[in-house]
Every structure is written in C-alpha cells, then in structure tokens.
Structure 1
Amino acid sequence: MIINNAVPLCVDLDGTLIYSDMLHESTLSMLKVKPFAALRLPGWLLQGKAVLKEKVAAAGDFNPATLPYNQAFVDWLRTQHAQGRRLILCTASDQKIAQRIAEHLQVFDEVMASEGAVNLAGANKADALVQRFGEKGFDYAGNSSADIAVWEHARKAVVVNASATVLQDAESCVEVEQVFAGPNKGIAVWRRVLRMHQWLKNILLFIPLIAAHRIADMDAWLSLLLGFLAFSLCASSVYIANDLLDLESDRAHPRKCQRPFASGSVPVWQGCIAAPILLLASFGIACHVGGSFLPWLVGYFLLTCLYSLKLKQLALVDCLTLALLYTLRILSGAAAVSLSMSFWLLAFSGFLFLSLSFVKRFAELQMQILHNKHKAHGRGYYSSDAPLVQMLGIASGFSAVLVLAMYLNSKEVLLLYRNPEWVWGTVPVMLFWISWMWLRAARGEMHDDPLVFAVKDKASLLAGLVFAILLVAGSVGGMA
C-alpha cells in the first residue's frame, strides 16, 4: 500500500488554489495600464492559448500576496507539506505567474505550467503528469470538468471549489480523498455585485419633481421611474467595471477585500459580460424617458468612467467629482420631466454632496491610520491629510446649511409654501445631521460609504423623517 507522503500531490491553480483565474486577472491588469493592447488579444489567441497566456503574463502584473486564495485549502496544503508530502503546482497558467505564486506560498517543491508552446490543461496536463510520475503515480487537486481527464489517471482526487456535477464525475472515475467546498454563489452575491443598496442614491432623480410641488403628475412619475431604473442599471455597470479595475486596491482594503470580485466569489469573466449588458439595457430604457434625459445619463456614464480610470486617484478632484455625480442625478431628474433647475437647489446639493464625499474619504483615511498605513492605495491621499479633509468636509456641510437658510428667506419659498415658517425648521435639522455625521466620523464609527451608514443609523433616519414632516407642514393648503 502506498502512503500519502510517498505520492506527490499535484495542485491546480485557477479555481482551486485561488478562487479566481490568472488569465482573466492578468488580462485586466494589462488593459488597465495598456488599454489598446486589447486590439492585440485576437492575434495572440490565433497563435494558441499558450501564446496568449505568455504574452498577457509578460505585459500584465499582479501581487501574489493579495490574490483570493482558498485559505482552508492552503492551510491543508501547509499541513501536508509539514508532514513531508511532495507538492507540485501544476497549472495551465503561464510559468512566470505560477512561479511567483509558488515562491510566495513556499509550500511547493516543483512547478509545472504552460510555457508558450503547450497549454497545460485537460488532456495535455494528464499526459504531462503521467509522463512525469507514471500512471496512478500521483494525486491531483482540481475543481473543474477539465480536470476529469487528469483524475482518470490519478491515484486519488482532492476536489476543491467544485460543482456537485464535477464532484459526482470525479467520484465515478477515482477515489476522492478530500473535498473542499467553495463559497456561496447564490442570488445574494449578485445583489452585492450590482450594489443594489446604492440604487437608493438614484432617488435624487425625484427631487426636482417634489421641489416643484408636482407630486400629482403621474406621467412625470412614470418617466422618473424609468429614469430611476436606467440610472440604477448604468450605475451597476460602472460599479462592476470599477471593481474589476480596482481588484488589487480592494484586496488591500480591510473591508473591500470581501467584495465579490476581490474575494473571488464571483468570477471576473462574469463581470466582464454583465457590465456591457447592463449598460445597453440602461441606455435602451433611457430612450423611453422624456425630455433630454438620455444625454444627461450618457454624461453621467462618461464622468463615472473618467472617475474610475483617473480622477479617483487625484486628491480633492475625486471628492469634487463625486459631488458632481450626485448633482447630475438631480439634473437628470429635472431633464426627464422638463423642469428648470434653481440656483438654490444646485448650490445646496453641491455643498451637501461635497461634504458627504469628504466624509467618505475621511472614513477611509481613518481606516488607513488604524492599520498604520501611510498612503491610501490607489488614492491621492496620505494619512496625514485626514485633519484637512475633515475641515474641508465640515465647511462644505455648513455651507450647504447656509444656502438652505438663505433660500428659505427668498421669494421662491413664499410662492411654494403656504406656511414657510414651518420649513424654517429644516435648517436646525440639517445642521444637526451634518454635525452628527462628522461626529461619528471623528469617532471612527463611520462606514466608508455614508449612504450605507445613513440608511442604518437611527438618528439619521429620524432627522430625515422630521425634515419631511416640516416640508409637508409648510405645504399644507397647497401653493399660494
């Protein structure tokens, strides 16, 4: 009888050792730095998949320390290695990539990988392992249907992160030594991919209609509901693209590392397909919205792309852009129902959203300080900038309150509200809420997304309720 320690264990990389696929990861890394290299991908692929992997590996870069490893499986491999078992990293990924990962983990005795001539997958991998170790002379850890061809020649199988069908097929052709289940990939994961909670921001489209006291206009509501859906799908498309471009930054972040693409719970290729589909659906729906809504949506999309690619890396410019993106939602809502925007609403929203953008950055810098990091990864801020960001954010928030107070003393208010003295009460409510957000941020209790914090915070919800009640009380009796 052959004991485990005398039989080498050959380990697959993509989907097994890590939850992701290194060809997809390397391609994204390459395109982030050299976007026009996408034009060369078809030519490389025509020369063979091994050539494609070699070219992409040479052009892209990655940090092996931040990859989404299957930690339970890695821990088991470390135990096997400590017991003297010979471990071989055997992968269809390019040799350069496999070697860097092996050097990082320090548990593999040998690396077998694609080297530009042969794509070491499926039958090719099986032939190479049989030639190297003999028929039934090795155990193999894999995860996909392509690994069945290898398990047919292996002594035992270790099934990792595989579907029930793959596990059943493996059990039909080889003795399964160990099974490591994969992460949950239910519908809840896709809610996180789409960031559906962020759709709440698109309620801002309804602000111009409400501010104009046209609540009874059902046609306008229908247009805005379509606009809401269009904006939400567009935003989800951008969020996905942003997550794909930000893989390494997210993985270095203590909370963002749990995002679906960063953690590997959703494959990168699925995001690459979902993003353009969502965008096309968004623009298709926008064509059925009235007014000049579509151009505003296109402008929002282009600005978010510019933000994802470059502007978010620029200190202060990033917060100004975020504030503008919020304000664009209000402008788009006005365009959908052919309403003109008042200077008061634009000024108020601009300062308010700028303050919330600074809250977001301040919370991230607080997290950086907590983890003793000098500079925010992928951002233009240093930890030492936190006091200045805090000061700018508080000043912006109080400026929004000042604009609100000045607006409530204007002629426009007398035309819209029967009892404007009730509406004056919104000023202290807004002053409290801005102060409360920054107080929680200063205490290190702010979520790095102020929206997520606000919808879960009882004080914020109560302030919103009181604000709405005061507006309704001021409107009793209709327009003067």
Structure 2
Amino acid sequence: SSTAYIINDVTDIEHDRLHPQKRQRPLSSGRIKIFTAAVLCIITLALSLAASYKIGLEFLMITIAYLALSLAYSFYLQRIEIIDVFCIAAGFVLRIEAGGIASGIEVSNWLLLTTFLLSLLLAFGKRRHELALHHDPEKPFREVLQRYNTNFLDTTLSIFATTAIVTYAIYTVEIESRIFLLTVPFAIFGVLRYMYLVQTDTRGDPTESLFKDMPLLLSVVIWFLITTAVIYFKDITSLVE
C-alpha cells in the first residue's frame, strides 16, 4: 500500500498542487523531493514482496495483483470515469482477502461484497466532494472530474448506500448472532450520516468525517464495541442470546 500511495502521489503531483487540501502533502508541497520518494518506494516495494513471499504464495499473488492494479490506476485508469472508483474499491477487497489469508481466516463472500459496495460509496462520496470544490474547469485538480456531474454522483451514492446496507444486513444474519444484528441500525445511521455530510458540508474531506463528526464517530465506536464483544466475548454474548 505504501508503495502504491507513493507512486500515485508522484504521478498526481501537478494536479495535487491545485487541490486545496492535497497541496499540503509532503510531495506536492515540496517538503519531500521526488528522488527521496523514489528511494522510499523501492525500499517499501522490496520489503512488501519479501514479506509476502514469506507469508505464502497465495498472499504474494494478491500483493502482485494489488500492485498491478495500483500502477494501472495511477498511470491510466484514474482518468476514466466510474472505472477509477471501481479500481479503488477493488483495492480494498484485495486488502481484506489478503488479511484473511495472513490470519488463516476464511473471509465471508458477503463481507467481501459489503466491503466492495461500501468502498464504492466512500469513493463516489469523495468524488462528489471534490466536484463541489472544483471551481475552475480549465485547471482541474483531478482530470476525471470533468466527466462527472452532481446528479449522477448523488444517484450512485443512493444506489451504493442501499446495496451496502442490504449486503451488510445479510452478512450479520450469516454470523448467526442476535447481538451482532444490533450493529445494523448503527451501520445504517453511519451510512446516512456520511451521505448527509457529503451533500451538505463542503468544508472538508468526507472520509475524514469518520474522525471529526461526532454523531458519525459515535456510531462507529458503538458498532466497533458490539462487534468486538461478538468476536472476543462469545461466551458472554451467548448468555444474552
């Protein structure tokens, strides 16, 4: 992931300098030179491939697939509308699958699908936010924004919010824990709150609201506590059920 982020920041450096927030990043602000970033990129790439090989061949293949996807996104696919967002979501799915392999835990198909849909929601929400900040069509800080519009993005947000909630609800049923079902209302609230922030608050990055917006943060904390209880305190939760 670090390697991919460095490459993406280097390829986007000129556009990032036009972005009100991204221009403060180390590379776009000039605090870190491109040569330094290149050296760091080589180091992180070597370490990640070595660690992946040590974990296992399957994990290594996912790492290579993730790197290939990231390179394709950075150099070309990020300029194609819709596909750019799908690449971001696919990257998160690969991370979840890699985590399952590393931990020896089989990842539920419903969890993978929920991750994919939720990632699409977050990514389209970010595009919606960037479009609201974009005031100069002659100098876009993201080329693909020229091919998006607010109505389309609002529609896609509604679609992926709905489908993400439905697949997550099915996933909680699959767990066969009534306590875990209690996370569904908080997940719904979190999704709706995120959509509200995306469409009404243009001051900051909507993904950063997870740590700044108190109602959204509270719903995430409660969701986390219930999930932790179901996973690590099965004996206690079984008594409640």
Shorter-chain TM band: 0.7 to 0.9
Would you say the 8 A contact 2:15–2:140 is kept in 1?
A: no
The structure richer in helix per residue is 2
User: By how many angstroms is 1:476 displaced?
Assistant: 3.7
User: By how many angstroms is 1:446 displaced?
Assistant: 6.1
Task: Give the corresponding residue for 2:102.
Answer: 336
Q: 1:282 to 1:301 in 2, by over 3 A?
A: same
Q: 1:358 to 1:384 in 2, by over 3 A?
A: closer
Among 404, 415, 422, the alignment partner of 2:168 is 404
Supply the AA of the counterpart residue of 1:413.
I
- Count of aligned positions: 236
Map of 1:49-198 to 2, 5 A cutoff? none
User: By how many angstroms is 1:478 displaced?
Assistant: 6.8
CA distance in 1: counterparts of 2:107 and 2:220, whole angstroms: 23
Q: 1:249 to 1:478 in 2, by over 3 A?
A: same
Task: Give the corresponding residue for 2:200.
Answer: 443
Q: 1:312 to 1:281 in 2, by over 3 A?
A: same
Higher relative contact order (CA 8 A, sep 6+): 2
1:90-111 deviation digits (Å, cap 9, x = unpaired): xxxxxxxxxxxxxxxxxxxxxx
Would you say the 8 A contact 1:408–1:423 is kept in 2?
A: yes
User: By how many angstroms is 1:290 displaced?
Assistant: 4.6
Would you say the 8 A contact 1:398–1:431 is kept in 2?
A: no
CA distance in 2: counterparts of 1:253 and 1:439, whole angstroms: 23
Would you say the 8 A contact 2:16–2:23 is kept in 1?
A: yes
CA distance in 2: counterparts of 1:479 and 1:423, whole angstroms: 9
CA distance in 1: counterparts of 2:211 and 2:57, whole angstroms: 31
Among 366, 382, 399, the alignment partner of 2:132 is 366
Map of 1:416-435 to 2, 5 A cutoff? 417=177, 420=178, 422-435=179-192
RMSD of aligned residue pairs (Cα, Å): 2.4
* Structure 1 gaps, min length 5: 1-234
Map of 1:303-322 to 2, 5 A cutoff? 303-322=69-88
Task: Give the corresponding residue for 1:459.
Answer: 215
Map of 1:185-334 to 2, 5 A cutoff? 235-290=1-56, 292-334=58-100
User: By how many angstroms is 1:434 displaced?
Assistant: 0.7
Would you say the 8 A contact 1:257–1:263 is kept in 2?
A: yes
Larger radius of gyration: 1
Supply the AA of the counterpart residue of 2:199.
A
User: By how many angstroms is 1:291 displaced?
Assistant: 6.5
Q: 1:471 to 1:281 in 2, by over 3 A?
A: closer
Supply the AA of the counterpart residue of 2:172.
L
Q: 1:278 to 1:402 in 2, by over 3 A?
A: same
What secondary structure is seen at the aligned counterpart in 2 of 1:354?
A: helix
CA distance in 2: counterparts of 1:381 and 1:266, whole angstroms: 27
Q: 1:443 to 1:477 in 2, by over 3 A?
A: same
Identity of aligned residues (%): 27
User: By how many angstroms is 1:413 displaced?
Assistant: 2.4
CA distance in 1: counterparts of 2:72 and 2:61, whole angstroms: 16
Would you say the 8 A contact 1:348–1:403 is kept in 2?
A: yes
Supply the AA of the counterpart residue of 2:153.
V
User: By how many angstroms is 1:348 displaced?
Assistant: 1.2
CA distance in 1: counterparts of 2:74 and 2:206, whole angstroms: 16
User: By how many angstroms is 1:375 displaced?
Assistant: 7.5
Would you say the 8 A contact 1:315–1:379 is kept in 2?
A: no
User: By how many angstroms is 1:457 displaced?
Assistant: 3.0
The structure richer in strand per residue is 1
CA distance in 1: counterparts of 2:204 and 2:113, whole angstroms: 26
CA distance in 2: counterparts of 1:286 and 1:391, whole angstroms: 39
What secondary structure is seen at the aligned counterpart in 2 of 1:287?
A: helix
Would you say the 8 A contact 2:110–2:168 is kept in 1?
A: yes
* Structure 2 gaps, min length 5: none
Would you say the 8 A contact 1:291–1:338 is kept in 2?
A: no
User: By how many angstroms is 1:322 displaced?
Assistant: 0.6
CA distance in 1: counterparts of 2:186 and 2:139, whole angstroms: 36
Would you say the 8 A contact 1:344–1:403 is kept in 2?
A: yes
Task: Give the corresponding residue for 1:346.
Answer: 112
CA distance in 2: counterparts of 1:240 and 1:476, whole angstroms: 41
- Structure 1: 4+ residue segments shifted above 3 A: 372-378, 445-449, 472-476
